Structure 1
Amino acid sequence: MARRTMSLLPHWSSRIFSVELDGASHYFAIQEKHRGEEVPRVFRKLPDHDRCYSLLVCSGDRIRGAKVYGELKDKLLRLLSPECDLSPMSSFLPNVKDSLVKGYFFKGSSGSCSPTERLLRDFAQRDPVLVCSYLRGEDGQLWTQHLWPHAESQLMDVSKEYYVVPSEAPDHHPSTLNLVNSDVFYSFEEAYEVLKKCGDIIPEAKSVLELLPSRVEARSKPASPVIVIEGLDATGKTTLTQSLRDALRAVLLQSPPQCMSPWRARFDREPPLIRRAFYALGNYFTAETIAQQSMETPVIIDRFWHSTAAYAIATAVSGPLCNLPDEGSEVYRWPSDLLQPSLVVLLTLHPEERKKRLRNRGQGKTEEEQELDHNRLFRLRVEEVYRRISGPACITVDASPSADQVLQQVLLLIRGKCHL
């Protein structure tokens, strides 16, 4: 932890802190002198408490940091009292890429000998976690932040106290600072390296890597047309892809490929960095098969990189659509070493009609599908990211008509764009 913690400290007073509370992001900053600023909103919501805490995961090893962050929530929920009200938290330098560190914020009981503080002292000694306490002043208004010492960071100046003051919200959600090659991967090497480093702690990672080459060459355009069908569940992707396969005498593929299915449930339990690397490599494995199959016949793909990126970005960036990176941002660009399809069709459907189809299917839902159903903003973010991805961009097709009408519309697109 020491290296990452020490890199934070010279810029500590310049960092912004964000707490996710009641479905909204609350931002605050710190400074050495108080100039009459009001109390930040997140602290105004704590009238019955005079002490709060934050834990930020600051490992120099991002694999270990991702694992610790993923396990930290379970530990805290198990060990803290329910009254603590655990909330996601982050700290970042405005507009500085890769400056985001994530953690948790919660209310605590008074007294340095409380069970909470004994627990946190244990975290500070063993884990790559930077602990801060927040104390309400005697006047009942001002709040101060106090850094805790860590066993591996004896040079930290923990004698300082910082006043907590309001901060303006950044232009975009702070998670956008760390999206590239963390939530979304833009090269085979970046994703491969993550799973390679996981080999000692996740045995299944070695099995996945045995399926893949150690590197891939940048792919030129496929020999025959390659058509990707994207869309949320129950928009008719399976029916359409099978109909296109028959109509065009094409090969039908999916991403991740069937050979990686035995490990999907295992990697779905991992933190985003590791989970997203697994799915990114699934796209590259599919691309190898596409390159081979397209030498002889057209290829239809049930979801590809668009889905991987859309769900990852929409999960990492919470809140309204304005929190997403601007259109044209690098996060929407197609990976330069991943084979580009000839055409990408995005099936869309009115939310109520999609829910009706899901109920009629009666199948179990993935965690992300459950999120789509109860979180309207998440669904809107997924759909918007689909629309913003470029190189190639999606062509939207209304999936509400009959399956045959949708098929005929897509065949017209294919004949116009791919000359089939």
Structure 2
Amino acid sequence: MAPAGRLLALLARPQSPSRAGAMAQPSCFALELPGGGLAHFAVGTGGTEGPAAPPDPRAAALLGPPGRSYALCVPVAPGRDCAARVRAARLLQRLLLQLRRGPLGRCQLLRLLRYGPGGGAGGGAGGLQRGVLLRDPDDSPDTRRALLALLDSCLEAPRPSLGEFVGDESHQLWQRPWELRGGREWRQVDPERVVPAPEPALHPVVPDLPSSGVFPHREAARAVLEACTPFMPEARAVLELVDRCPRQVLRGAFPVIVIEGLDATGKTTVTQAVADALQAALLKSPPACISQWRQAFDDEPAIIRRAFYSLGNYIVASEIAQASARSPVVVDRYWHSTAAYAIATEVSGAVQHLPPAHHPVYQWPKDLLRPDLVVLLTVSPEERLRRIRGRGLERTSEEEELEANSVFRQKVEVSYARMESPGCHVVDASPSRERVLQAVLSLIRDRCPQLP
């Protein structure tokens, strides 16, 4: 029987009660489009009778023929504890590495989020799931076989979910989930319609950010690294340093100035020059005492990486408290950069999908020592790129993303601009070093009258 005939036969088959009940609670998806847009669609919203409204044409072009697409998502085990989150994040990272190899390496990968109909992390059973849409332009049977073999290699529960998108003769789109029957064989079950879904008022990942990247307090970040200690000795070493820091630190009488900026805005040069001009202590985040483990954490999934940088800020806060009793303090990056990069990375899509201004995610953590002033250095994208190429220095994956992805860069910049309590004071770093230094010093003396 031809593929279209097999599909029509399946659609005509009575549904099992379990699958029919599942379709009463739809799953919604947010698909990140090439270029930074988002398309939302839903699966499992009704029976097989009659035509259904087509999904967003942008999504339909990536889900339907020609070619074939698959949705691979990683659920989080019930309880939503940090250990489960960490396991899910590491599993997704491992899957993404394998998807870029062998017969799957020729397929297009697009970021995919699965969420409940309420639009947030708690909107459906299992909450928010991160995953990927894999599009095979050739519709090769090797792709399906490789994906099922990949699922077989995932021995820990819960296993990733896999859905295959197909079209029928009436141009309707369906998703056919794969399920493991009897613990031995993968089989496709009843198809579910793919239909439009409204864009939620808030990006579905935003309610999850306090648990996955923009940690609102020290204990939230600490819990993540605690879950990493069985497989990362570096996590235990960082926690030992964090636990030596007082939970409540008292700042000294001298002002604390933070200088932020994207890579190649002159931040390091200006920070050193400002510290020299003010005879200030110069500190950096992450601090030197944990920088030796930075590469190990940069190689881990975002939730682990963010926890490392967040806890680094609390160690720096302890150093600031001591140093500000003796002199002014200048800090090369602090909480704003940690949060801005986390928001820009986790929130898929373009700038318009970021949390709106004044959202709590932009608020400074209440248990972290607050600076007197945050200076944000900016240059045009063209000037920044020219400087990067002239430096020839090794960069992190996020700094490389800034160079290659203008949408990501814009999201970082807008996230910086929306930070509150304290906000960022922008200084154009395009002129000569001397002029930029004078502009920064003028701003500092205006905002910090307690300076001698």
Q: TM-score, normalised by structure 1?
A: 0.88
Determine the structure 2 residue equivalent to 1:76. Answer: 99
In the other structure, the counterpart of 1:188 is 218
Contact 1:96 1:177 in 2 (8 A): yes
Kept in 2, the 8 Å contact 1:125–1:151? The answer is no
Change (3 A) 1:282 1:12: farther
* Number of aligned residues: 409
Q: Percent identical across equivalent pairs?
A: 42
Runs (5+) with no aligned partner, structure 1: 1-5
Determine the C-alpha separation between the residues in 1 that align with 2:145 and 2:112.
Answer: 22
Q: Does 1:308 align with 2:338?
A: yes
- Aligned to 1:328, which of 340, 345, 358? 358
Distance 1:125 1:147, change over 3 A: farther
| 2:30 corresponds to | 18
The separation in 2 between residues aligned to 1:171 and 1:406, in whole angstroms, is 40
**Residue 303 (structure 2) pairs with residue 273 (structure 1):** yes
Equivalent residues of 1:229, 1:347 under 8 A apart: yes
In the alignment, which residue of structure 2 is the partner of 1:95? 119
Deviates more, 1:250-259 or 1:373-382: 373-382
Map of 1:3 onto structure 2: none
C-alpha distance after superposition, 1:350-377 (max 9, x if no partner)? 2222222223333233222221122222
State how 1:238-257 maps to structure 2 within 5 Å: 238-257=268-287
- In 2, Cα distance between equivalents of 1:367 and 1:231: 16
Find 2:41's aligned residue among 16, 28, 36: 28
The DSSP-based 3-state class of the residue aligned with 2:41 is: strand
Distance 2:263 2:167 in 1: 52
Other-structure match for 1:261: 291
Residue 56 of structure 1 corresponds to: 73
Output the CA distance in 1 between the equivalents of 2:278 and 2:175: 65
The Cα shift of 1:111 comes to 7.2
Give 1:180 shift.
Answer: 1.5
- 1:289/1:406 CA distance change after superposition, 3 Å: same
Q: Which runs of 5+ in 2 are unaligned?
A: 1-17, 78-83
**Preserved contact between residue 346 and residue 394 of structure 1 (Cα < 8 Å):** yes
Equivalent pair of 2:165/2:175 in contact (CA under 8 Å): yes
Counterpart contact for 1:222–1:341, Cα < 8 Å: no
Aligned mate of 1:395, from 425, 428, 437: 425
- Counterpart contact for 1:252–1:301, Cα < 8 Å: yes
Q: Distance in 1 between matches of 2:282 and 2:110?
A: 44
Q: 1:248-285: CA deviations, max 9, x gaps?
A: 11100000011111111110000000000000011000
**Normalising by the residue count of structure 2, what TM-score does the alignment of the two structures yield?**
0.82
Rounded to whole Å, the distance in 1 between the matches of 2:424 and 2:308 is: 24
Q: CA deviation at 1:143?
A: 2.6
Cα RMSD, aligned residues only: 2.9
2:280–2:327 CA contact under 8 A, matched in 1? yes
Distance 1:103 1:152 in 2: 25
Is the contact made by 1:39 and 1:165 (CA closer than 8 Å) also made in structure 2? Answer: yes
Asked if 1:133 is matched to 2:163, the reply is: yes
Q: Which residue of 1 aligns with 2:5?
A: none
